[in-house]
Amino acid sequence: MASPDRPVRPPRPQHELTVVSAERVGPHLVRVVLTGDSLADFGAAEHTDAYVKLRFTDADGDPITRTYTVRTVDREARLLTIDFVTHGDVGYAGPWAQQAKGGDRIVLMGPGSGYAPDPDAGWHLLAGDLSAVPAIAASLEAMPADASGVALLEVEDRGDVIPLRAPEHVDVQWLVNPATDDVDFLARAVDGVEWRDGVQVFAHGERESIKEVRRVLKQRGVPREAISISGYWARGRTEDAFQAEKRTPVGQID
Ligand SMILES: Cc1cc2nc3c(=O)[nH]c(=O)nc-3n(C[C@H](O)[C@H](O)[C@H](O)COP(=O)(O)OP(=O)(O)OC[C@H]3O[C@@H](n4cnc5c(N)ncnc54)[C@H](O)[C@@H]3O)c2cc1C
């Protein structure tokens, strides 16, 4: 039964899709292009951080859900692209993407979304790790040509740097950090940018790293309404554990 303070959300549309291609674009990145007729009506056109829930099943046949950003969607051509970070043989989505080939089938639900670059923002600060590069790339592509700002992209390996299209006055910085236990690496980079008034922030990625970024944004006095921030995953946690922890203190970003 619905709780009185939790509105009931209509179920997200379901899409039964087929893999067109799966291509390794970096040592930790696989790009999968999917197709299906239902993509003609795919939503979230107004946002650049659209995400979908991919459905897998575990060894007992129980459903498993994993969340991924829509890197691009072409409703007319009915094509949807997802960039998967690969992180070894553990999990469901990463290993699925590593083995995906044309003709494979997958079911996903969505989209959900919430952010778009504000054309009236004084400047933009985008920060994240490889899991947030798809959303940041889509956001950069949607900005007007005269937008300005900084995009800070933390990667473990220089090979994961991929070409991005960005407005001329958005400084895209790829920051290589092989030390995965250095959780305030991204926050230090955020603190080091040239701060001015009027920023709009998009910061997403590994949870502990994003907590450190939030701390810097608080110190800088950035208004909450100018910030889109969340963990996309947490080191050492499956997505199920990560999502469950959102209801406990360790899972809170703010
Ligand atoms: C809104 C949203 C959008 C997202 N968009 C993307 C996206 O576009 N591309 C993308 O790759 N991810 C994205 N993610 C993150 C993705 O959902 C998680 O990385 C997810 O845990 C991967 O599922 P899995 O089955 O591969 O691994 P899981 O079974 O969830 O985890 C298995 C193990 O792998 C580790 N692990 C998980 N992800 C990573 C990683 N990125 N790097 C290193 N170790 C990891 C876990 O900590 C765990 O120890 C997004 C998450 C959210 C909430």
47 and 161 in a single domain? The answer is: no
CATH of the domain at 183: 3.40.50.80
127 and 221 in a single domain? The answer is: yes
87 and 151 in a single domain? The answer is: no
Ligand 1 pocket residue status of 239, Cβ below 6 Å:
yes
d(CA 47, CA 39): 16
117: in domain: no
Helix (H, G, I), strand (E, B) or coil at 81: strand
In the block, residue with structure tokens 């959300």: 9
137 and 194 in a single domain? The answer is: yes
Q: How many CB atoms lie within 10 A of CB 36?
A: 18
4: in domain: no
165 and 67 in a single domain? The answer is: no
Residue 211 pLDDT grade (very low, low, confident, very high; cuts 50, 70, 90):
very high
Please choose from 108, 233, 250 the residue to mutate so as to test ligand 1's pocket, defined by most ligand atoms within 8 A of CB.
233
9: in domain: no
Q: Which atom of ligand 1 is nearest to the CA of 95?
A: 26
7: in domain: no
Residue 236 has pLDDT above 70, yes or no: yes
6: in domain: no
Two tokens at 113?
């979304």
81 and 157 in a single domain? The answer is: no
Two tokens at 172?
């895209």
Average pLDDT, the chain: 95
CATH of the domain at 45: 2.40.30.10
102 and 138 in a single domain? The answer is: no
Ligand 1 pocket residue status of 81, Cβ below 6 Å:
no
204: in domain: yes
90 and 23 in a single domain? The answer is: yes
Rounded to the nearest whole angstrom, what is the distance from the C-alpha of residue 245 to the centroid of ligand 1? 15
Q: Which atom of ligand 1 is nearest to the CA of 231?
A: 53
Q: What is the pLDDT of residues 153-201, one digit of tens each?
A: 999 999 999 999 999 999 999 999 998 899 999 999 999 999 999 999 9
Q: Which atom of ligand 1 is nearest to the CA of 235?
A: 47
Residue 1 has pLDDT above 60, yes or no: no
Ligand 1 pocket residue status of 215, Cβ below 6 Å:
no
Which residue's alpha carbon is nearest to atom 31 within ligand 1? 238
Residue 99 has pLDDT above 70, yes or no: yes
139 and 218 in a single domain? The answer is: yes
Q: What is the pLDDT of residues 21-71, one digit of tens each?
A: 999 999 999 999 999 999 999 998 899 999 999 999 999 999 999 999 999
1: in domain: no
Say how many domains are in the chain. 2
Residue 7 has pLDDT above 70, yes or no: no
Q: By residue range, what is the domain housing residue 69? A: 14-112
Phi and psi, residue 240, nearest 5°? -65, -45
d(CA 41, CA 78): 9
- Return the pLDDT at 89: 95
In the block, residue with structure tokens 């947490």: 234
Rounded to the nearest whole angstrom, what is the distance from the C-alpha of residue 86 to the centroid of ligand 1? 8
